Amino acid sequence: MTMNKSLKIAGAIGILATLPLAHSASVLSQCATLTSEMNQTYPQRVDKVTTILGALCAPGATRPVLIYRMKLDVAKAEIPSGGLESQRSSQLAGWCSDPRTRPILNVVDVKYSYSDRSGVYVGELAHKVEDCPR
């Protein structure tokens, strides 16, 4: 994905932050529209073992959830215990400290759902604005 495209999508999702939380159906609808645009750029390699397969929005308990579907180019058995969990702090730091992404957490929760190279579910990491340092 080009930087311009990334910033355009991030900016468009950031518009979600201007909507009142009471309009979660509207936020969900706009999020779904934006993930449809994002999905035109996937799959996309993140690093030597991780690929983003796609994104979607789903209703959540308190607000919509932006879900990134991730594939790890390893077998589930090769993933060390706590392997996914080791990514939590850097993911959360990115969402909480970046002025382009922090407002998004005000209106949607974010989840990374991981599968192995065969498509077997490995686990997930979820982030909410309440998880950000104060």
Whether this prediction's pTM lies above 0.95 is answered by no
Secondary structure (3-state) at 78: helix
What's the confidence (pLDDT) of residue 23? 59
Phi/psi for 3 (5° steps) reads -60, -40
Secondary structure (3-state) at 44: strand
Architecture in CATH for domain 3-131: 2-Layer Sandwich (3.30)
The C-alpha angle with vertex 35 and arms to 34 and 37, in degrees rounded to 5, equals 65
DSSP label at 98? -
Share of the chain above pLDDT 70, in %: 82
Residue 34 pLDDT level (bands cut at 50, 70, 90): confident
pLDDT digits (tens, 9 = 90+) for 79-105: 988 889 989 999 999 999 999 989 889
What's the confidence (pLDDT) of residue 2? 40
Between 134 and 46, the higher pLDDT residue: 46
With tokens 């999702």, the residue in question is: 13
Residue 114 pLDDT level (bands cut at 50, 70, 90): very high
Does 16 have pLDDT greater than 80? no
What's the confidence (pLDDT) of residue 68? 96
Name the token pair of 16: 């979600």
Secondary structure (3-state) at 109: strand
Extents of the domains making up the chain? 3-131
